[in-house]
Structure 1
Amino acid sequence: MGIFNKIFKGILFMQNIKKYLLVFALIASFASSLLAKRPKIVHAIKQGDLELVKELISKNKGLLLTKDSIKYVSSNTSLLHRTIYNRKPEILEYLLQEFKNNNIDINNWVDTDGRNAAFYAVYDADYTSLEILIEYGFDLNVKRKCTDYDGNITEESIYEAAPFGHGTDNSRIKCCNLLLKNGVRHNFSNGDLDSFTEYDSKEILEIAKKGMSVPSKIRYALWRLLCYLTDDKK
């Protein structure tokens, strides 16, 4: 009986192994199908493989128009969005040169959130990528169309993203200054300006005020005076 019992257990063990192998094969097949749906050039950009990107585009210029989706971020993203999102400045410079050589206008390429590639660079305080975009003549005054809380369509300046973006104070300050130097202006609300002082950097507040019109600066000064007098009475 002991021998038969061992044989029986061995058969059960082999059957379980087959089940596990089948499940593994199904998972591998599913993962492979997902990878197949994503263009090879997108994987090359994510890996920072400039030579492979060059090779793929040299064989098919149509790849320059590839649209993708960035998980948890947005869809309808161009190769520029992807390159900046993954912080690959060398690939970014190569792509911009290719777009220029092939007379492809990229300024109005936006994702489903209405952001062009420069918004990504500014919001991530990616000074290097922003500098490259400017060098290649990227239009920084393209405004993002978005919907406010009341459902109204509004326009958002790229400069709005700079003080609130990711990164260190220093990197955001550099991006703010670079935008102002290249003619980008925006009239922040009084609340926005105060948040720079309360939660952020006073230096960013001063830079933000530089980009405002004179009437807006006067309005803010009066508003601050009113707040001061009101607080003083309390």
Structure 2
Amino acid sequence: MKDSYKTVAKKGVASFTVQKSRFIGLVDRVENEAACKAFIEECKEQYPQARHYCSAWIIGEGGIHKRADDDREPQGTAGLPMLAVLEGRGITNVCCVAVRYFGGVLLGTGGLARAYSHTAAIALNASGLVLRVPAIERIVRLDYGYWGSLQYKLETAGIPIADIIYTEQVEVRFYVEWQEIAAWDQEIASITAGTALVREGEPVWLNKPLKGDDDE
């Protein structure tokens, strides 16, 4: 994927109980179908006595690949409601598993759909969401006399600094979003009167926390 996208910040786990059935929601960031299957198996191993392990996942740019599994619950009452929650958050590269310990009371199709939707929602809330932004590492060597001005500019702009090395000159490594590369190279040249040595490092993804995405 080359464009920015929303996904989960980290693994998330949350649970609740309704009519004596315990539901445990788990989410994780995944990059492909194999990772989804591995995460589902991990959940089964973690909760081996559960009755159901329903799941939903979305992968790829624009959420092009998606799947839902009811795992022996009535058709359409588990996986699809969970998938709808993921789609509603506008996220991709995510897998959600809902583990159910059956409590002996039937919830009905409507009750099941609400329970599984809620399970997915609280798991996402526990994880939090981030905007993943493509960026590039910039490696800059400059004289000490210019470092204070560049450091101020970087900190004011909220640019993540990866490393600073002090030798005969200052070498600083930081991350710049792709669309801002030209502007920052121009800024560096202006601050250092064109004397800085600028090199390109490795491409990376920056995680920007998102707020206000909780549905419940």
For normalisation by structure 1, the TM-score amounts to 0.21
Tell me which protein shows more strand as a share of its residues.
2
Tell me which protein shows more helix as a share of its residues.
1
Higher relative contact order (CA 8 A, sep 6+): 2
For normalisation by structure 2, the TM-score amounts to 0.22
